[in-house]
Amino acid sequence: MGLGAYLTLAAVLFAIGLFGVITRRNTIGILLGIELMLNAVNINLVAFARFNADVVGMIFTLFTISITVAEVALGLAITILVFRIRRTVVADHLDLLKG
C-alpha cells in the first residue's frame, strides 16, 4: 500500500469527525468527533514519518496522543460541570455566546 491510501484513510476519518462535530447535538458526541479528527492527523503524521524515513513524525505523534488525552479529560470535566449547573448537555441549549 502506498502513501495515498493512508492519506485517504486519514481524510475520510477527518471528514467523519468533522461531520460528527457539526451534526451531533450531544456534547459528548462532539468531543468524540474532535477525537476522530485528531486521530486522522495522527495517521497523517505517522504515514509521512514512515514513508519519508523521518522519526520526528513518530515522536510528534506521541506528544499529540498525550495532549489529546489531557484535552479529552478536560472536555469531559467541563461537560460534567455544565451538566451540574444547567442540567443538560445538549448543545442547542448552551447558547450563552449568542450575540
Given the rule CB under 8 A, which residues bind another protein? 18, 21-23, 30, 91-92, 95-99
At 17, list the grid cell.
Answer: 469527525
At 81, list the grid cell.
Answer: 460541570
**Least distance in Å: CB of 97 to another protein?**
4
Q: Which is nearer to another protein, 70 or 97 (CB)?
A: 97
Cα maximum dimension of the chain: 51
Radius of gyration of the chain (CA): 17
Q: Which is nearer to another protein, 1 or 22 (CB)?
A: 22
The answer to whether 41 and 17 are in contact (CB under 8 A) is: no
Q: Which is nearer to another protein, 19 or 51 (CB)?
A: 19
**Least distance in Å: CB of 40 to another protein?**
14
Q: Which is nearer to another protein, 2 or 99 (CB)?
A: 99
**Least distance in Å: CB of 99 to another protein?**
3
